[in-house]
Amino acid sequence: MNPRMVIVVTSTYVRTFQLLHLTGVMHSLMLVPYDLVWIVGEAGGVSNETASLIAKSGLKTIHVGFNQRMSNSWEERHKLESKMRFRALRSIREKKLDGIVMFAGDRKMFSMELFDEIQNVKWFGAVSVGMLTHSVNTDEMANQKKDEEENPRMPVQGPACNASDMLAGRHTFKTLPFAGKSAVYIDDRATLLPRKMEWSGFILNSRLLWKDNSDKSKWIKDIDMFNGDIESPLGFVNDPLVVEPLGNCDRQVLLWWLQVEARIDSKFPSIWIIYPPLEITVSSKRTPWLDAQPELPVNEKPAMGIQDPIVKHSTKRTSRSKH
């Protein structure tokens, strides 16, 4: 079977860490050895910052602006990102793009094996996502470590297989220890929890989105049935057991989830280009290096070094007398 085109959906918006996150995704996509289309949805409308960045990739891109601005609330942010992904899916249907659709959030890290693995998807697949939670609260970190020692949890979200390598269920992130202590707003100094089902853990055949596709299975729902607010692509299927587990049937983590953001009121230069140059706040009175070698005084003659005579040792061995 010939390799299918990879259709990547990414939602983003201009912020302090956008360049950091989006550059990582872009460089991963530039290494993909298959035909690729990158659909970038942007909250707050199409910006010059995002357009100039994705243009550097040299990839075929579709830049879609979304007028609504990103909220400071994590819950509202997740809802808006979901709507942006729906906009991208409708664009795929309208253009009848034929390939494998994956959701590459701009805060995810990918193994290059993932792009090979998704070529095996027939209709609807799922991969394991490594969940890298973190906290800046030292007390919370201590309590979290104690809880993990008493009740170790699997920091993976994705399909769960039985001994026969058949789909048996799903791994989910244990959120009970963080009840009432997780981050609500971007500025909160608390652990940010993943959603029950991350979009990035699902892959689907783009033909499932086509309206006039005769091969479209009856177990998939039409995207027009939703208003854009959906937990994950798993809501598209009528029977979750039709999901195709990838990555050696859940044994291999192929991407990672890590939410790291700056304060919403943090200041940063556009596209991180410092212009005009920053003012000198601390002057350097003396540099640690010399601009030129110091010159000797005119009336002072350089001292002539006296070289010790070289003592040559004979290499000729004296023969020992024989008795």
pLDDT in tens, 73-89: 878 888 898 999 999 99
Inter-residue contact 74 to 44 (CB < 8 Å): no
Q: Which CATH number covers residue 255?
A: 3.90.550.10
pLDDT in tens, 145-165: 555 554 445 578 888 888 888
pLDDT in tens, 121-145: 999 999 988 877 655 454 544 555 5
Q: Is the dihedral angle over the CA atoms 7, 9, 14, 15 positive or is it negative?
A: negative
Look at residue 306 in the predicted model and tell me its pLDDT.
43
Question: Which candidate, 165, 174, 158, 161, places its Cα nearest to that of 255?
Answer: 158
What domain range is 202 assigned to?
5-265
Note whether residue 107 is domain-resident. Answer: yes
Note whether residue 281 is domain-resident. Answer: no
Residue 230 vs residues 80, 195, 272: alpha-carbon distances, Å = 10, 11, 34
Note whether residue 145 is domain-resident. Answer: yes
pLDDT score of 7 more than 60: yes
**Share of residues in the chain with pLDDT > 90 (%):** 33
- Between 208 and 134, the more confident residue is 208
Report the first-to-last Cα separation within the chain, whole angstroms. Answer: 91
List CB contacts of 132: < 8 A, sequence separation 6 or more: 155, 256, 257, 258
Note whether residue 52 is domain-resident. Answer: yes
pLDDT in tens, 161-182: 888 888 888 877 766 666 666 6
Report pTM.
Answer: 0.75
Question: Which candidate, 115, 83, 111, 87, places its Cα nearest to that of 99?
Answer: 115
CB atoms within 10 A of CB 8: 24
Look at residue 89 in the predicted model and tell me its pLDDT.
93
Note whether residue 115 is domain-resident. Answer: yes
Q: How many domains does the chain have?
A: 1
CA distance 212 to 80: 28
pLDDT in tens, 17-69: 888 889 999 999 999 999 999 999 999 999 999 999 999 999 999 999 999 99
pLDDT in tens, 261-314: 766 667 766 666 766 776 766 666 665 555 555 555 555 554 444 444 444 454
Inter-residue contact 118 to 125 (CB < 8 Å): yes
Mean pLDDT across the chain: 78
Note whether residue 285 is domain-resident. Answer: no
pLDDT score of 322 more than 80: no
pLDDT bucket at 16, cuts 50 / 70 / 90 = confident
Note whether residue 83 is domain-resident. Answer: yes
CA distance 277 to 300: 46
Across 110-128, average pLDDT: 93
Read off the tokens for 297: 């005084």
Look at residue 62 in the predicted model and tell me its pLDDT.
96
pLDDT bucket at 323, cuts 50 / 70 / 90 = very low
Residue 3 vs residues 21, 95, 120, 238: alpha-carbon distances, Å = 28, 20, 9, 28
Across 224-246, average pLDDT: 82
Read off the tokens for 46: 């199409």
Note whether residue 13 is domain-resident. Answer: yes
Look at residue 321 in the predicted model and tell me its pLDDT.
44
> Beta partners for 295?
none
